[in-house]
């Protein structure tokens, strides 16, 4: 009997200690599954502010009994006596060090502000979760970019435009009364990776978000987020003075319009004293804007900037503009419109530029505006949600994509003028700097629709803090915290090539915008019947009997001329254009010889096949990890990988069937024939695909 008891006890311990523990992904990378708590007196907080309180609470939640840990601001007498190099930390950096404080050996977390200490607390937890120890610890870091913000494309009715993780996290209906604990966990997650701002509502904005009831709702969220160092921003609909104010115009130079915005802004600041400011999508895809009144984007932005200026607010003005009436190459339009405005924006305006010139494709060359507006602060906008990369189901780690753009060389001031240096302000000496990510967060239990999508949220935050971080370093941190140190290498191995695989099976060799209409789910390279040319995939790939690709050289749209001369020269010549961008800039014969020795057509098929092979391999790798990962997260991921596998084949087969209908070429030797004929692919319909704006 006793033996049986002992056996049960041992079995119970083993069970608790293994992956059988149920996990649904809610805890993100903050799982702190140590099973132990720290002694109450092991964490000492000097001073009492909301941020210090949450920093200490987080450490209590996550630590395994070490101590003492002291959280103290730089001006604390004992800290000051240590003469640590704290001035360079600014108001968000932190320093963690084993020191003698008074007569005690402690782990000190210090900073110039309580927010800095909060970031330090999270950095300490990350350090310990990824295998670091407290022994002679010495960590210090300061963010390189000032505004690190999420853009939620959340509508007031709960639908998230391009959202694949359920309805909006903001339950506007029960706000401001009910402050869902998830709002606090959202803030914790963001603070843990250094995100310090959130734009609550869709850039395709409704004026209602600026009415008193919605300001009160936003204020409730701001109250929850404040201790975590997160400011709230709102997307502003430019025509709100007409819709809410009853004015006849929204002309930014009309004094009544300016007065309306000033009064509205004052009202917001009364409710949210630390309100961050406005984000504006104007004169783009049907949104109202200053161009409706023959005013420039600078006129519009500066009018709003004047309204927020007395309160210390800023305006993030998007450069994602293209006019449905403009016959110019869509890739050129933002530059054409904004470049002449360089130097014309107020100093509390920052222009928000997408990573590429079209629209968040699986791969785009960097946007030509980076480096081209030295007198204007530019922030970069990435899309974390995977509108064009397989929605929530495809595993595509975006760290390498972020890094690819951030490390791209604009050559604006000679070699080494990277996009990262443009946006961190170092290239042109700007103090106002920023980076935005379109959020992939919704009310799904696992927040982002899949465990691996959480990595994209994580990577965005970490690379916003430090745009020079390597994608694999970030993936390693995330994998260790999300799963366990034992599975890091295989998981990182899967992640690192996953975005390239999506490029390969969807849009290889510089192709882009070949997705089906509206919802952008699945292939639609044949679509040619939409009203405006640039809405059609055929506009982007230009395939014909002899070749494929968009000629953006001098013989075509000459978009290459928008880049600095050193870059333009390379992109103008097919021989010096990286193959990965070839068809973005050139119309290339199907028979063109490629670096591999293959000609273009078999090379394309080779890429499609490499993409699907990568997915098959991820499935095998994941299967092998089954014993090391809890059932719930393992099974959901395995199922999604199976979906990705099926859809990668679909993309490959549909694309190949279509290209063959254009080029009349045979399948390269050894390549599998598409599973269906072209008509079958063209007939697929997805009337209720998620994320599609109504
Ligand atoms: O990527 C496209 C999306 C639109 C989006 C737009 C934008 C918010 O298809 O849904 O609208 O970009 O960035 O404004």
Q: Tell me the per-residue pLDDT of 534-546, one tens digit each, with 9 for 90 and over.
A: 889 999 999 999 9
Burial 513-531 (b: 16+ CB within 10 A, else e): bbbbeebbbbbbbbbeeee
Q: How far is the CA of 405 from the centre of ligand 1 (A)?
A: 19
By most ligand atoms within 8 Å of CB, the mutation choice from 285, 286, 383 for ligand 1 is 285
Range of weakest confidence among 64-68, 271-275, 384-388: 64-68
Residue 579 catalytic? no
* pLDDT tops 90 at residue 172: yes
Q: Kindly state the average pLDDT of the residues 47-66.
A: 89
From the candidates 359, 381, 444, 551, give the one annotated as an active-site residue. 359
pLDDT score for 2: 45
pLDDT score for 21: 60
Ligand 1 closest atom vs CA 520: 9
pLDDT score for 494: 98
Q: How far is the CA of 577 from the centre of ligand 1 (A)?
A: 28
Assess whether the C-beta atom of 360 lies below 6 angstroms from ligand 1: yes
pLDDT score for 590: 98
The answer to whether the CB of 670 falls within 8 A of the CB of 606 is: no
* pLDDT tops 90 at residue 410: yes
pLDDT band at 532 (very low <50, low <70, confident <90, very high): confident
pLDDT score for 40: 59
Assess whether the C-beta atom of 269 lies below 6 angstroms from ligand 1: no
Q: State the Cα–Cα distance between residues 467 and 469, nearest whole angstrom.
A: 6
Share of the chain above pLDDT 90, in %: 91
Q: Kindly state the average pLDDT of the residues 207-224.
A: 98
pLDDT score for 694: 65
pTM assigned to the model: 0.96
Tell me whether the omega of the peptide bond preceding residue 503 falls within 30 degrees of 0, making it cis: no
Kindly report the average pLDDT of the chain as a whole number. Answer: 95
pLDDT band at 103 (very low <50, low <70, confident <90, very high): confident
* pLDDT tops 90 at residue 127: yes
Assess whether the C-beta atom of 387 lies below 6 angstroms from ligand 1: yes
Q: How far is the CA of 663 from the centre of ligand 1 (A)?
A: 32
From the candidates 91, 157, 266, 285, give the one annotated as an active-site residue. 285
Residue 359 catalytic? yes
Q: Kindly state the average pLDDT of the residues 4-22.
A: 40
Range of weakest confidence among 56-60, 251-255, 287-291, 479-483: 56-60
Q: Kindly state the average pLDDT of the residues 655-679.
A: 98
Q: State the Cα–Cα distance between residues 528 and 174, nearest whole angstrom.
A: 45
Looking at per-residue pLDDT, the higher value among 286 and 62 belongs to 286
Q: State the Cα–Cα distance between residues 258 and 299, nearest whole angstrom.
A: 11
SS3 for 454?
A: helix
* pLDDT tops 90 at residue 184: yes
Ligand 1 closest atom vs CA 383: 1
pLDDT band at 662 (very low <50, low <70, confident <90, very high): very high
Strands 547-548 and 588-589: antiparallel
pLDDT band at 1 (very low <50, low <70, confident <90, very high): very low
pLDDT score for 14: 33
pLDDT band at 313 (very low <50, low <70, confident <90, very high): very high
Looking at per-residue pLDDT, the higher value among 3 and 437 belongs to 437
pLDDT score for 79: 96
Ligand 1 closest atom vs CA 388: 1
Q: How far is the CA of 285 from the centre of ligand 1 (A)?
A: 8
314's tokens: 């800023």
pLDDT score for 680: 98
Q: Kindly state the average pLDDT of the residues 421-432.
A: 98
Ligand 1 closest atom vs CA 438: 13
Residue 285 catalytic? yes
* pLDDT tops 70 at residue 10: no
SS3 for 225?
A: helix
The answer to whether the CB of 451 falls within 8 A of the CB of 631 is: no
Q: Tell me the per-residue pLDDT of 321-360, one tens digit each, with 9 for 90 and over.
A: 987 777 899 999 999 999 999 999 999 999 999 999 999 9
* pLDDT tops 50 at residue 304: yes
* pLDDT tops 80 at residue 75: yes
Q: How far is the CA of 693 from the centre of ligand 1 (A)?
A: 9
Q: Kindly state the average pLDDT of the residues 488-515.
A: 98
Q: State the Cα–Cα distance between residues 494 and 450, nearest whole angstrom.
A: 15
pLDDT band at 5 (very low <50, low <70, confident <90, very high): very low
């Amino acid at each position: 009997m006793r033996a049986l008891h002992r056996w049960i006890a041992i079995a119970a311990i083993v069970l608790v200690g293994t992956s059988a523990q149920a996990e649904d992904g809610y805890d993100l990378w903050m799982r702190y599954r140590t099973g132990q708590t720290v002694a109450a007196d092991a964490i000492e907080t000097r001073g009492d502010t909301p941020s210090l309180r949450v920093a200490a609470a987080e450490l209590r939640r996550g630590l395994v009994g070490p101590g003492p840990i002291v959280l103290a601001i730089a001006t604390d007498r004992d800290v000051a006596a240590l003469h640590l190099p704290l001035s360079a930390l600014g108001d968000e950096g932190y320093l963690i060090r084993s020191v003698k404080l008074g007569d005690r050996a402690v782990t000190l977390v210090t900073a110039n502000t309580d927010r800095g200490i909060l970031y330090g607390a999270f950095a300490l937890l990350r350090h310990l979760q990824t295998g670091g120890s407290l022994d002679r610890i010495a960590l210090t870091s300061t963010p390189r970019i000032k505004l690190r913000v999420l853009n939620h494309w959340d509508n007031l009715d709960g639908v998230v435009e391009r959202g694949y993780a359920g309805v909006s996290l903001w339950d506007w209906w029960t706000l401001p009364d009910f402050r869902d604990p998830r709002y606090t966990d959202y803030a914790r997650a963001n603070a843990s990776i250094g995100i310090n701002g959130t734009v609550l509502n869709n850039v395709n904005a409704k004026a209602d978000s600026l009415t008193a009831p919605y300001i009160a709702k936003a204020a409730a969220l701001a109250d929850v987020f404040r201790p975590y160092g997160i400011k709230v921003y709102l997307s502003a609909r430019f025509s709100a003075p007409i819709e809410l104010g009853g004015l006849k115009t929204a002309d930014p130079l009309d004094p009544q319009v300016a007065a309306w915005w000033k009064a509205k802004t004052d009202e917001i600041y009364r409710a949210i004293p630390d309100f961050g400011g406005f984000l504006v999508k104007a004169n783009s895809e049907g949104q109202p804007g200053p161009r409706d009144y023959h005013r420039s984007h600078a006129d519009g932005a500066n009018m709003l900037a004047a309204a927020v200026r007395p309160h210390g607010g800023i305006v993030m003005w998007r450069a994602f503009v293209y006019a449905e009436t403009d016959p110019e190459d869509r890739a050129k339009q933002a530059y054409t419109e904004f470049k002449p405005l360089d130097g014309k924006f107020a100093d509390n305006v920052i222009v928000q530029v997408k990573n590429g010139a079209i629209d968040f494709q699986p791969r785009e060359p960097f946007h030509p505006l980076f480096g081209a507006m030295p007198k204007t602060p530019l922030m970069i906008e990435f899309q974390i949600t995977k509108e064009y990369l397989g929605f929530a189901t495809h595993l595509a780690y975006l760290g390498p994509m972020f890094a690819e753009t951030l490390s791209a060389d604009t050559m604006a001031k000679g070699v080494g003028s990277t996009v990262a240096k443009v946006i961190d302000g170092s290239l042109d000496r700007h103090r106002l700097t920023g980076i935005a990510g379109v959020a992939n967060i919704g009310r799904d239990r696992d927040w982002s629709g899949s465990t691996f999508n959480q990595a994209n949220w994580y990577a965005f935050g970490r690379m916003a803090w430090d745009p020079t971080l390597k994608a694999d370093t970030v993936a390693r941190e995330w994998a260790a915290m999300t799963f366990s140190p034992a599975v890091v290498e295989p998981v990182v191995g899967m992640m690192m090539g996953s975005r390239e695989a999506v490029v390969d099976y969807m849009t290889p060799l510089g192709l882009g915008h070949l997705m089906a209409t509206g919802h952008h789910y699945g292939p639609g390279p044949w679509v040619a019947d939409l009203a405006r040319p640039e809405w059609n995939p055929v506009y982007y790939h230009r395939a014909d009997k002899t070749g494929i690709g968009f000629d953006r050289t001098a013989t075509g749209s000459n978009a290459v001329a928008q880049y600095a001369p050193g870059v333009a020269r390379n992109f103008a010549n097919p021989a010096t254009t990286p193959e990965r961008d070839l068809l973005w800039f050139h119309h290339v014969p199907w028979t063109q010889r490629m670096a591999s020795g293959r000609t273009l057509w078999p090379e394309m098929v080779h890429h499609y096949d490499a993409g699907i092979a990568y997915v098959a391999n991820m499935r095998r790798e994941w299967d092998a990890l089954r014993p090391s990962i809890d059932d719930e997260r393992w099974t959901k991921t395995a199922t999604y990988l199976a979906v990705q596998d099926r859809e990668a084949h679909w993309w490959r087969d549909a694309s190949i069937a279509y290209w063959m209908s254009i080029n009349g070429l045979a399948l390269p030797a050894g390549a599998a024939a598409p599973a269906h004929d072209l008509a079958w692919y063209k007939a697929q319909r997805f009337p209720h695909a998620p994320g599609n704006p109504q």
